[in-house]
Amino acid sequence: MKLWQKNEDVNKAVETFTVGRDREMDLLLAEADVLGSLAHTRMLETIGLLTSAELEAVQRELKHVYREIGAGRFRIDDDVEDVHSQVEFLLTERIGEAGKKIHSGRSRNDQVLVDLRIFLRRQVMEVADDVRSLFALLQRLADKYKEVLMPGYTHFQIAMPSSFGLWLGAYAEGLVDDVQMLLAAYKVCNKNPLGSAAGYGSSFPLNRTMTTRLLGFDTLNYNVVYAQMGRGKTERIVAQALSSVAATLARLAMDNTLFLSQNFGFISYPSSLTTGSSIMPHKKNPDVWELIRGKCNLVQGVPNQIAMMTTNLPVGYHRDLQLLKEVLFPAIAEIRSCLQMAHYMLENLSVRENILDDPKYDYLFSVETVNNMALAGVPFREAYRKVGLDIEAGTFKPEKKVRHTHEGSIGNLCLKEVADEMDALFAQFGFERVEAAERALTE
């Protein structure tokens, strides 16, 4: 039996096709769905749609269901199409008529909207925490290896001296910008759509400000039509933030894969973290980094998948939107897995020292020589020409000493300043307030 069903049974093939993977995806939304109902029913009591006794019974049983979900004992029955239906059926079965009243003033449309917002804001914060953990490790490694020089490249040609500290610190600072994207996505997620019903509001005198406060949202989506139009847009914005993180990780993975190869040999990992070949006994393959690279490249395609599903949809709800969960939810799991594995690998990173002693890296110091001549009074263009001619003649002999002192250079990584930027971003999330609101609903 469906919530919307009257007397006629649904064609089985149609039911199977339309429900799709909703039961599987909706299990991830179960806690959020109960939180939404806890807030909604409190509001219903204030406008006379539930008695105080009914509210007490509903709240008690909803909290019981919430604990069942946390303990892994909640499931969506095969003859129930989604999490909203399952929760309502359970309440009606356990407490009777009061359970049938909880849907007053809302639709499954705004139920799934509020579920997604609650779920996605939590997921964004957990991704951000994983990013911050990787950031802290990269910062520590950058400080540890700040004096160890390595080649820097442009056009895949040796260019100028770099350091492992500079390389690792670059990815740390890149994650700061990624958190900026996550913060923007979090702010979009943290707006309350509950009360928009099917997308056109309700004739009940709903108190949307009350549910906004109870659920810990920063504000609400005021226009009920726009609240419904936010479906798809919210997912796309979250996917874009995930894509930003994925782009940073994919590039870091590529560097690791490259620098681990014998042609470079700049870094190494314990044998237990690499894989072998079935016929080549010498192989130590960087499969973890290659899979991180591949998975992150796929995640970067998710915003476009969402765009293709939603670009031409007119105003209102459409069943196409159901498919967004099947695209976005696995991407969130993938990016978290990649962040955690990257952290695990880098904890075991070893770097090779004295790389630049090899004569093939002599030309890395050509700019240093030009700059030293310019500091001694030789016009820069004249110094550039002189060093260029020495290189062509094979007489160039560099002084392999680096004197980079400006902000963000080899000798001045500004790690504290970068850490301060990350701390300032995290201070803006305010997730402690959200956690307090969710706790107050369920205790």
Give 125-179 pLDDT, tens digit per residue: 999 999 999 999 999 999 999 999 999 999 999 999 999 999 999 999 999 999 9
Q: How confident is the model at residue 290 (pLDDT cuts 50, 70, 90)?
A: very high
Residues ≥6 apart with Cβ < 8 Å to 87: 30, 33, 34, 37, 62, 65
Domains and CATH numbers, the chain: 12-101 (1.10.275.10), 108-146+163-201+221-356+414-442 (1.20.200.10), 360-412 (no CATH)
Percent of the chain with pLDDT over 70: 95
Given 85, 162, 277, 278, the catalytic residue = 277
Lowest-confidence range among 22-26, 208-212, 223-227, 417-421?
A: 22-26
Query: Across-strand partners of 101?
Result: none
Q: Is the pLDDT assigned to residue 4 strictly greater than 50?
A: no
CA distances from 27 to 55, 81, 102, 312, 402 (A): 25, 11, 20, 29, 57
Crossing angle of the two packed helices 224-260 and 302-310, in degrees rounded to 10: 150
The pLDDT of residue 19 is 63
Burial of 265 by CB count in 10 Å (0-12 exposed, 13-18 middle, 19+ buried)? exposed
CA distances from 221 to 2, 227, 246 (A): 29, 5, 29
The pLDDT of residue 403 is 87
The pLDDT of residue 100 is 92
Please state, in angstroms and rounded to a whole number, the distance separating the CA atoms of residues 361 and 152.
10
Q: Which of 236, 204, 219 is nearest to 47 (CA)?
A: 204
Q: Which SS3 state, helix, strand or coil, does residue 440 take?
A: helix
Please state, in angstroms and rounded to a whole number, the distance separating the CA atoms of residues 59 and 275.
53
Q: Which SS3 state, helix, strand or coil, does residue 351 take?
A: strand
Q: Is the pLDDT assigned to residue 382 strictly greater than 80?
A: yes
Lowest-confidence range among 189-193, 236-240, 282-286?
A: 282-286
Residues ≥6 apart with Cβ < 8 Å to 39: 194, 210, 211, 214, 215, 441
Q: What is the mean pLDDT of residues 246-261?
A: 97
Q: Is the pLDDT assigned to residue 10 strictly greater than 70?
A: no
Q: What is the mean pLDDT of residues 189-206?
A: 94
Q: Which SS3 state, helix, strand or coil, does residue 154 take?
A: strand
Q: What is the mean pLDDT of residues 363-374?
A: 91
Q: What is the mean pLDDT of residues 297-309?
A: 94
Percent of the chain with pLDDT over 90: 79
Please state, in angstroms and rounded to a whole number, the distance separating the CA atoms of residues 222 and 209.
10
Residue 266 CB: number of other CB atoms within 10 A? 18
The alpha-carbon radius of gyration of the chain (Å, integer) is: 28
Task: Please spell the DSSP secondary structure of 388-412, one letter per residue.
Answer: HHHHHHT-----------STTBTTB
Q: Is 155 a catalytic residue?
A: yes
Q: Is the pLDDT assigned to residue 21 strictly greater than 90?
A: no
Please give the helix or strand (H or E) that residue 157 lies within, else none.
strand 157-163
Please state, in angstroms and rounded to a whole number, the distance separating the CA atoms of residues 282 and 295.
27
Given 52, 84, 155, 278, the catalytic residue = 155
- Look over the chain and give the mean of its residue pLDDT values, rounded to a whole number: 92
Q: How confident is the model at residue 323 (pLDDT cuts 50, 70, 90)?
A: confident
Q: How confident is the model at residue 318 (pLDDT cuts 50, 70, 90)?
A: confident
Lowest-confidence range among 83-97, 182-196, 214-228, 262-276?
A: 262-276
Which of 78-92, 334-348, 401-415 has maximum average pLDDT?
334-348
> Contact 108/83 with Cβ under 8 angstroms?
no
